[in-house]
Amino acid sequence: MGRFGSVRAQRRFRRLAQGHRQAADRLPEHPLPLAVGGARRHGRGDLAAQTGQDGGQRVLGAGDRQLAQRAGRGDVGGEALVAAGVEVEAVHLQPAHDQADDPCPRRADLADAGDFGSAVDADRDPRRRRSHPVGEDIDPQVEGLRSMRLGSWVIARAADAIVDKGRRIAGAMLEAAEEDIEFAQQRFVIKGTDRGIGLFEIAAAARGDGIPSDLRGPLMGISDETMSIPSYAYTCAVCEVEVDPETGFVEVVRYTSIDMARAMAASRKGSARRCGRRASTTPDPASSYPARS
């Protein structure tokens, strides 16, 4: 079995990715970047995922839901599609479906989906989705902590692809070498100068005629990742109690627990984040993960 399973499954996945690109092309003129990524995974809890980013207007259409469902009917265990904007508005995760005729995956309880973070959206109404920065819709078969890892990685890679393409467009627009363009704080800037273009301006320009034809079109990235190696948190807990033998009443006096992991949904409070930075002795993987071809 190859990286993504059978040849048939690979072919189907390419068709699905192509469908996403076409869906992106059908979107009306849009100032925001649009990323489309695909991912698949094998094993239990396989999932299909889709995400739409639309700047508040619309999410990739119902057709994509069907695509994702079709993707879930893979004979190798499962495939996933993720389409993500740079600012991801909604992530929808669906399981691979053994029952190919089941048109409608069950929806998870909010509690089941809670691993993804605090913002969980089990409603498919786009108007409600906008109230959450990240929404999620998970079938009970899909475990949040697994789909979260896959979804995050696919989105990160799709975002990378957007930045790479944006860098090339910025190079063409600023008449600078691509290698001299750096991306930071949503801007593509020529190194050592203050000349630069914003990400959204690049996205808008990408639709026009002012840039080389091979770079024209929606600013989007494709990511196609498999994540099959498990990863599990490990924990240490120490507890001190006081028990009243006369009444049986137990008081937890002290409880210390360390849950080794990378904080995915760190507290929005600055203090917690700073604390995490200081406590961490490792480089931030989010900014230094190895580039893959």
Q: Write down the least CB distance from residue 40 to other proteins, Å.
A: 15
Going by C-alpha positions, the residue among 155, 147, 153 that lies closest to residue 221 is 155
- 21 burial (CB, 10 Å; 0-12 / 13-18 / 19+) is middle
Q: Does the footprint of other proteins cover residue 43 (CB under 8 A)?
A: no
Give the long-range contacts of residues 9-14, CB within 8 A, separation 24 or more: 9/40, 9/74, 9/75, 9/76, 9/79, 12/70, 12/71, 12/74, 12/79, 13/38, 13/40, 13/71, 13/74, 13/79, 13/224
Q: Does the footprint of other proteins cover residue 110 (CB under 8 A)?
A: no
Q: Write down the least CB distance from residue 230 to other proteins, Å.
A: 7
Q: Does the footprint of other proteins cover residue 153 (CB under 8 A)?
A: yes
- State which residue, 177 or 241, has the beta carbon closest to other proteins: 241
Site size toward other proteins, by CB under 8 A: 59
Please report, as residue ranges, which positions from 211 to 230 form the binding site for other proteins (by CB under 8 A): 227, 229-230
Stretch 263-282: interaction string toward other proteins, x if CB under 8 A: xx-xx----xx-xx--xx-x
Binder of other proteins out of 28, 208, 248, 270 (CB under 8 A)? 248
Local structure of 113: helix, strand or coil: helix
Q: Does the footprint of other proteins cover residue 293 (CB under 8 A)?
A: no
**d(C-alpha 223, C-alpha 218), whole Å:** 15
Q: How many other CB atoms are there within 10 angstroms of residue 22's CB atom?
A: 11
Is there a contact between 70 and 38 (Cβ–Cβ < 8 Å)? no
Binder of other proteins out of 251, 268, 270, 293 (CB under 8 A)? 251
Which residues are at the interface with other proteins (CB under 8 A)? 114-115, 143-146, 148-149, 152-153, 156, 227, 229-243, 245, 247-255, 257-264, 266-267, 272-273, 275-276, 279-280, 282, 285-286, 289-290, 292
